[in-house]
Structure 1
Amino acid sequence: MPRQRQVPSSNWRPPPKPPAGPPGRVPTVPLAEPGSEVVAPRLCVVIPVLDEAATIVTCLERLSEWRQQGVEVIVVDGGSKDDTRALARPLADQVIDGPRGRARQMNRGAAAASAQALLFLHADTHLPPAAMPAILKALEKRHWGRFDVCIQGRSRWLYLIAASMNLRSRLTGIATGDQAMFMRRSAFEAVTGFPDQPLMEDIEVSKRLKRLSPPACLGVKVLTDGRRWEQGGVLTTILLMWRLRFRYWRGADPVRLAEEYRHVR
């Protein structure tokens, strides 16, 4: 989905590395509300949005059954000019305003959540039917995880792109936002949330989380919209992504990379 503009910050420095987690088996975290008559697990879905009137209703309607089972759904708006907030209010537990920028919005949503497990979902990404039990089972053994992704669109290249994303993520332990990242609240707090940067926040938080445990790489697939790829041309977008990732790996300022990304798109 389209990136969200964020007020650039100056004098960027690479974020500090969090302390490594303790060795050995990851202890189980209770994901049910103690003493509650509701058996449903305590999970919160955080959805950062900006001008998502075209997608937010479908996204939230797919989560309605989860809400009936006690799952929180929080929508964090970064200053939409359309009807996103009005459309979301009847279908979410909270619709709150946050500072523009996906990382900042996700941090704002996590701060408002009361759950012990967090799922960060893009408005144009659809979860598989068995997503909730898969998340909870994964978090019994790992601090965090992500899904495989399937990119929906007309281009035949999108299948190969998704397959390469899934393979790369398994090999490197790095996840992207399109893969619906989930984590324990304790892990989110241990890495101080998403870094305050306008681009590559998913890659950076993955690096931090890897110090706590390897990710749970779920083979079930989320379905995400391929509009970002098709609008700019699939091959052109692939080359752009590779260039941005390489420069970020070399230490480039994510603020400058975000400006280049917006100008190209």
Structure 2
Amino acid sequence: MAEISDRAAAGSSAPTISIIVPSWHDAENLSALLPVLAGLNGIREIIVADAGGDAATEHLARRHGAILCSCPAPNRGAQMNLGARAASADMLLFQHADTELTARHVSAIDLACREPAVIGGAFFRKFDDRHPRLMWLEQFARFLTRNGGTLYGDQSVFVRREVFSQLDGFAEIPLMEDMEFSRRLRAAGKVVVLDPPVGTSSRRHSREGAWRKTIQNGLFILLYKIGVSPRRLHRWYYADRPASGPQADKSFPQEPRAAER
């Protein structure tokens, strides 16, 4: 791996931020997220990297002043890379459409990245459902993340743009691109995990059972770490998901959502 240049983390002034939101038929979540992002200070641009091609997403992006980048096929890694290429700010922040981001989070990034050694990071997370079992999972995840664990996609991962370029961005694989990027980012330099936690959706935990979902996702992570290909894992993970209907999963089709691991 190429060494991260000193210039990538040079300077102590507040970074400007480009927010990149990968989307796939995510108009409902975007309708709540984009107005909030548009009202934040310190944001140079909002980039929606869309693979759904639906008119509602295009309308929302234009309405809230976001840049719309279209990807020919749904692949979260490819979409985030596409969005990053369109970005011009010092800091890239990759934001899931169903995860919150507030002025307090932007201020936390601003403060943390005034330290030149910090090359990127993410936030601790909390579920939108305050069930005791999910709250226990939050604490367990906090312990793991604080001690070198993976930075998952729904933790609002941020990275200096030059560092992202030197790392060659996300792997454009069908599944686990956040795990793969997190490993390289942590190896490249100082990474911080911040409070306040970001709120994220617990819908699959609620629908499928918290322990069942946690065990399932843990198994898939183990299989990935021992060498099972992301393509095969993607096929297994989505084998029993309905493609349409009221119970169809409307979230991204590329990976087990980080909040559910």
Q: Distance in 2 between matches of 1:31 and 1:255?
A: 42
Change (3 A) 1:30 1:72: farther
User: Which residue in the other structure is 2:29 paired with?
Assistant: 55
Counterpart selection for 1:250 from 206, 226, 231:
226
Match of 2:190 among 190, 195, 214: 214
Give the counterpart of 1:263 among 212, 216, 239: 239
Secondary structure of the corresponding residue to residue 199 of structure 1: coil
* 2:33–2:100 CA contact under 8 A, matched in 1: yes
Q: Number of paired residues?
A: 238
Deviations 1:85-128 (A, max 9, x none): 22232113301211411111110000001111000000010024
Contact 1:57 1:88 in 2 (8 A): no
Q: Give yes or no for contact 1:173–1:215 (8 Å, CA) kept in 2.
A: no
- Is the Cα contact below 8 Å between 1:152 and 1:158 reproduced in 2? no
Counterpart position of 2:256: none
Q: Alignment partner for residue 56 of structure 2, among 75, 83, 107? A: 83
Percent of residue pairs identical: 31
Structure 1 residue 172, shift from structure 2 partner: 1.8
State whether residues 8 and 162 of structure 2, in contact with CA within 8 Å, keep that contact through their aligned partners in structure 1. Answer: no
Corresponding residue for residue 205 of structure 1? 181
Q: Is the 2:49–2:82 contact (alpha carbons within 8 Å) kept by the matching residues of 1?
A: yes
Q: 1:133 aligns to what? A: 107
Using the TM superposition, give the Cα deviation of residue 241 of structure 1 relative to its aligned residue in structure 2, in angstroms.
Answer: 0.6
| Structure 2 contact 22–49 (Cα < 8 Å) conserved | yes
Q: What one-letter code is carried by the residue in structure 2 that aligns with 1:203?
A: M
Q: 1:172 to 1:76 in 2, by over 3 A?
A: same
Report the 3-state secondary structure (helix = DSSP H, G, I; strand = E; otherwise coil) of the residue aligned with 2:238.
helix
Aligned-partner Cα distance in 2 for 1:27–1:73: 22
Change (3 A) 1:232 1:264: farther
How far did residue 257 of structure 1 move? 0.6
Q: Secondary structure at the match of 1:140?
A: coil
Aligned-CA RMSD value: 2.2
Letter in 1 for 2:61: A
After the TM superposition, which of the residue ranges 148-157 and 52-61 deviates more from structure 2? 148-157
Query: Deviation string for 1:190-236 (max 9, x for gaps)?
Result: 11000111111111101111122131110211111111322322222
Structure 1 residue 84: deviation in Å? 2.2
1:81: Cα distance to partner?
4.5
Q: Deviations over 1:64-92 (max 9, x none)?
A: 222x6552100111124572222232113
Structure 2 distance, partners of 1:82, 1:261, is 29
**Change in 2 beyond 3 A, CA 1:84/1:258:** same
Matched, 1:175 2:119: no
Distance 1:198 1:64 in 2: 30
Q: Identify unmatched segments of 5+ residues in structure 2.
A: 242-261
Could you say if the C-alpha distance between residues 82 and 236 of structure 1 is closer, same or farther in structure 2, counting changes exceeding 3 Å?
A: farther
Question: What is the CA–CA distance in structure 2 between the aligned matches of 1:69 and 1:215, rounded to whole Å?
Answer: 21
**CA distance in structure 1 between the partners assigned to 2:39 and 2:135 by the alignment:** 29
Unaligned 5+ segments in structure 1 are 1-17, 33-40
Match of residue 161, structure 1, among 137, 140, 144: 137
Identify the range of structure 1 (86-95 vs 252-261) with the bigger mean alpha-carbon deviation: 86-95
Partner Cα separation in structure 2 for residue 244 and residue 103 of structure 1: 18
Distance in 2 separating the partners of 1:92 and 1:228: 31
Following TM superposition, the consecutive aligned residue runs of length 4 or more in structure 1 with deviations greater than 6 angstroms are none
Structure with bigger helix share is 2
Q: CA separation in 1, counterparts of 2:62 and 2:13?
A: 26
- Relative to structure 2, which stretch is displaced further, 166-175 or 197-206? 166-175
Larger mean Cα displacement after TM superposition, 235-244 or 70-79: 70-79
